[in-house]
Amino acid sequence: MATGTVTTKLPDPVPWGKKHRMLLMNISFWMFWAAFPFAYLGGVRNQLAYIHLSFGLFVLACLVPLVTKK
């Protein structure tokens, strides 16, 4: 017997990158500022450790916006 099937459509889940966009942007924003002194001191004093540390932080700060939606 055919019965009227009720299909309950679940609301589209909010993508993770959209839901936490603000938090991710905050993380990215502060990471840039954390990298700034290392980039400056590393560049001026030619200290590779600082330069590499600043790069690591800049790369992470730039990767964070890439996982956001928009």
Partner 1 sequence: MNNVVALTWVTWLLAFLPILLLLSTILFLKWGAPKAGAVSWFAAVAVSVFVFGADARLLALANSKGMSLSLYVLLIIWSAVFLYNIVETIGAVNVIGSNMAKVTDDRLLQCLLMSWCFSAFMQGIAGFGVPIAVVAPIMMVMGFPPAIAAATCLVGHSWAVTFGSMGAGYYTIQLITKIPGDVIAPWMAILFVVPIVTTGFAVAHIYGGISAVKRGAPAIVVTSAVMSFSCWLMTVIGAAQLASLIPGLLGCGAMALMARTGLYRRDPASNPSVLAEAPQGLGFNLAFSPYYILILVSIATQIKGIRRIIAPYAFGMDYPAVQTAMKFSVKAEKMYSRIGLSHPAPLLLTAVVLSFLVFRAAGQWKRGAAVKAFKTTFSQCIPTSVGIITMVMMALVMGDSGMTFLLAQGMAKATGSLFPLASTFIGVLGTFLTGSGANSNVMFAALQVETAKVLGISTVIIAAAQSVGGSIGGAISPAKVLLGATMVGLDGGESEVMKKTLPYCIGVALCTGIVAWLFVYVFFRTLQ
Q: Cβ of residue 12: shortest distance to partner 1, in angstroms?
A: 18
Integer Cα distance of 70 and 41 in angstroms: 34
Tell me the angle at which helices 48-66 and 21-45 cross, rounded to the nearest 10 degrees. 160
List the interface residues with partner 1, window 5-64 (CB under 8 A). Answer: 21-22, 25-26, 28-29, 32-33, 35-36, 39-40, 42-44, 46, 48, 50-52, 54-55, 58, 62-63
**Residue 65 engages partner 1 in binding (rule: CB under 8 A):** yes
Integer Cα distance of 53 and 4 in angstroms: 63
Instruction: Report the amino acid identity of residue 57.
Output: L
Q: In this structure, what token pair is assigned to residue 30?
A: 């502060």
Residues that bind partner 1 (CB under 8 A): 21-22, 25-26, 28-29, 32-33, 35-36, 39-40, 42-44, 46, 48, 50-52, 54-55, 58, 62-63, 65-66, 68, 70
